[in-house]
Amino acid sequence: MANVHILTIDGAEVLTVMHFAVPNTNNSSGINWRVIAARVHGTTSLPDGDGTGGTISTGEKTSITTGALVEQMRFIKLGTDNPSGAQIDAAFTAEQSAFQTSFQAKYARYGATRG
């Protein structure tokens, strides 16, 4: 499975579809993060295919619909034209870390009820 699907490169700006891993643990309300991810992010923008050429494989799609992965389109700006694979991989690692921090903060109390 691909972590990054590159759609366009325009100089140092790369348009990607990234797949971020979601932890298989619970938030503070006892709801599994993957259940939350499936409910609020459980779709893909890529056409069906084998995971190459801007398509999504069946396995990737299943991981997204079940919440094991979240798909997000991201522009990443790198300091050089025609960035290398290593630069894109490093950007993915940073984007995934930022996503996980933001996702867990935003949905920390998802599912809580009162009264």
Summarize the confidence of residues 72-82 as an average pLDDT. Answer: 89
Please state, as a whole number, how many other Cβ atoms lie within 10 Å of the Cβ of residue 79: 7
What pLDDT, on the 0 to 100 scale, is given for residue 49? 95
DSSP class per residue in 8-38: EEETTEEEEEEEEE--SSB-TTS-BHHHHHH
What pLDDT, on the 0 to 100 scale, is given for residue 82? 80
Q: Which neighbouring-strand residues pair with 72?
A: 18
Terminal alpha carbon distance of the chain: 44
Q: pLDDT grade, residue 37 (50/70/90)?
A: very high
Say yes or no to pLDDT of 1 above 80: no
What pLDDT, on the 0 to 100 scale, is given for residue 24? 98
pTM: 0.91
Query: Does residue 74 contact residue 18 with C-beta atoms inside 8 Å?
Result: yes
List the domain boundaries for the chain: 4-106
